[in-house]
Amino acid sequence: MKVFWVIAMLLAENTFRIWLLDRQGTLELVTSDSSGTLAREISAEPLYRFLRSWTAFSEHCMAMGRMSRKADAELKDLSLALAGLLLVGKRVTGRRLEYSTDSEWSALPVEILPCRDGLAGQKMEIVRDLRIQSASANGGDSEARHGKGSSLVIFPAPSKDLEASLEEEVEALSSSRFIQNRLRPSVKKRWNWSELLRMSSNGDYWHFAGHAKANRVSLGGLTLAPPDIRSLHLQVPVLFLNGCHTGIGGGADSLVAAFLAAGVGAVVGYLGRIEGRYASVAALAFWEAMARGNTPSMALHKARGEIESRFGKGHPASVFLVCYSSRKFAAKAPGILRRVVLGVGASAFLILSLALLANTWPGNSGNIVLSDGVDSKGSRPPENASDIQSSNTVSQRRFRTPMVKRGPQASADDGKEAEEFVQKPLAGRLQREELNSGDESSTESISHADADPISHSDADPISHSDPDPISHAETETISKADSETTGSTDPEVKGNAESEFEILGRTFVKSDHPFYSATARKRILEGLRKLDATETEKLVRLRSHMLADGASDRRPEE
C-alpha cells in the first residue's frame, strides 16, 4: 500500500511559491509549499551583496564560454548563499516554482536555488509574477489576448556585430518543421506605427531578436520605450525578447512591466548579457517546445535544458532565461486537455489510495498513521502532559498533507491559514504569524498535587508531583515496568503471579483512550502502583480513569 502513496505524490503537481514584497522600505519574504506558509521581514543589504557577486560571476562565465570546475564550484556556493537568504526553514520542492515580486528584486536568479541534488532551473518549471496593474484595464477580449497564438511574427533588429547570428537565428526559426507546421512563422523587418497598431490585435506570438536594453526595444525599425508600449492594446499571448537585459522586470520603466500592462500574456527575456550563439539555441528550443503544445514556463524549462546540454550544466545563459506571466494568463496550448486529465486522474488515485489504506492498514482501526504522527482523522497524540486537551479539541484538528515532516511545535491550524493566505496573496494583508509556532490555544494549565500522584480534588484531569514533562528515561522505566509481570504490593494479593490490577492496568495502557494520551496512561498506572492503598482501592481508581470520556475538565468521581 505504501507504493500507492509514492505514485500518488509523484503524480501530484505541487507548487513552491516565493513572494518578495517591498513594504515601504522593508522587505517581506513569504515562502509557501504543501507543508505551510512562513512570512518574515528581511534586510535588503545582503541581497544587494549577492546581486553584485552574481553579476561578476555571470560576466566571467560569459567571457569564458563554458563552465569550468572552478566556476561550477562557485555556482554551488552562490546557490547555497541565495538559499540562505530566501529559504530559511524551507526547501524547494514540487514540480513548479512561482516567484512573485513588486520591486527591483526580479533580477534575483531564483533558478539557481538548490533543488533535488541540482538547481531549480534544471528540475522544475519556473514562472515569475510581476505585481503590476492588471492588464485588463486596457479593455479588449481577455480570451483573445491570452489565448493560443495564430502565428509567429519575428522582428529582427539588424546590426553590424549581430548580422550573421541574426540571419542564422531567423533561418533556424523559419525552417523548423514543427514551427512551420503549427506556428507559420513570418519575418517583419520594417514597419510603421499604423502597421504596429494593426498587428497588435491579431493574437500572434511575437519574437524579437537583436540588441536591446532593459527599458528600450526596436521592433521592425520602431524604437519603443515603456510609455509607448503601455499605450498599446496588445493581444499577444507570448512575447520573446531575445536580447540582453530584457528580463529585468523591476520598476515602472522596464520592458517587462510595460508589455504585461499592455496586455501580453507572458514575456520571456534575459536577466543579463547574452551572446548570439546562446540566444539562437534558446530561441529555437523555446518555440519548438511551444509548437509541441507546452506552456511558456515549460517551454522555457526545455530551452534551459538544451543550453546546458551544449554548454554545460548551470551555465549562466540558461539561468538568465526567465518567464514573466500575468496573473490572469492561462496558455491554451494544444496539450492542455492531457494535463487536465492527468491532474484529475492523480487526484482520484490519491483519494482511492487513502480509502484502501484506511480499510487495510493493520492495527490502526481505520486510522492511517502518517509520518508526522497525525492520523487520517487529523488527530495528533500529545507528546507530554502539557499538550493534553479535551477530545473535542483534538477531533477538530485538520488533516495534514501526508509524508510531510513537521516539527513537534507545529501549529494545529496552519493548514487552514496557509490556504487562506495563498488564496489572497495580492490583498496586502499578509499574515506575519509564523505558522510553525506552538499551539497557543487557551487551555487549563496543569496543577500539581503535593502528595497524592492522582488527586481527585484537582480540576485538571492529570496531576503529578513533578512539574517537568516526563523524561525519556522515565518513559523507558514505565514501559519496562508495564512489560514485566510483577505481583501487587497489596498483602491481599501478594502471592498471586499477576493481580487483577496489573492485568487491567496493562489493558488500560495499551488500549486507545478518547481522553488520555499513551504517556498520560503510563504515568497514571505508575502512580497507582506506588499508591499506598489496597488492591480494591487501586482498581476503583483505575476504572474511574478508564471510564473518563473528556466531557469535562474534572475527572469522574469515585
Band the pLDDT of 269: cuts 50, 70, 90.
confident
The set of cell numbers assigned to 302 is 526545455
Nearest Cα neighbor of 378 from 359, 354, 348 is 354
Question: pLDDT for 49-76, tens place per residue?
Answer: 998 888 888 777 767 666 667 777 888 8
Question: Are the beta carbons of 209 and 156 closer than 8 angstroms?
Answer: yes
Question: pLDDT for 339-384, tens place per residue?
Answer: 445 556 666 777 877 777 666 544 444 443 333 444 444 444 444 4
| Bigger pLDDT: 97 vs 150 | 97
Residue 45 has phi, psi (to 5 degrees) of -60, -45
Q: How high is the pLDDT of residue 495?
A: 45
Domain 2-336 falls under CATH 3.90.440.10: no
Question: pLDDT for 502-550, tens place per residue?
Answer: 888 888 888 877 778 888 888 888 888 888 788 888 888 888 888 775 4
Question: pLDDT for 306-322, tens place per residue?
Answer: 888 888 777 777 878 88
- Counting DSSP H helices and E strands in the chain, the numbers are 20, 13
| Strand-pair category, 266-270 with 321-325 | antiparallel
The stretch 110-117 carries a mean pLDDT of 85
Q: How high is the pLDDT of residue 219?
A: 67
Domains of the chain by residue range: 2-336, 365-443, 450-558
45: which residues sit within 8 A by CB, 6+ positions away?
none
Distance CA 392, CA 155 (A): 66
Distance CA 246, CA 211 (A): 10
Q: How high is the pLDDT of residue 404?
A: 36
Its pTM surpasses 0.85: no
Q: How high is the pLDDT of residue 124?
A: 83
Distance CA 291, CA 259 (A): 22
Question: Are the beta carbons of 323 and 267 closer than 8 angstroms?
Answer: yes
The stretch 64-93 carries a mean pLDDT of 80
Q: How high is the pLDDT of residue 287?
A: 92
The set of cell numbers assigned to 129 is 509574477
Question: pLDDT for 453-462, tens place per residue?
Answer: 434 434 444 3
52: which residues sit within 8 A by CB, 6+ positions away?
none
Question: pLDDT for 424-477, tens place per residue?
Answer: 443 343 333 333 334 443 333 333 334 344 344 344 443 344 444 444 444 444
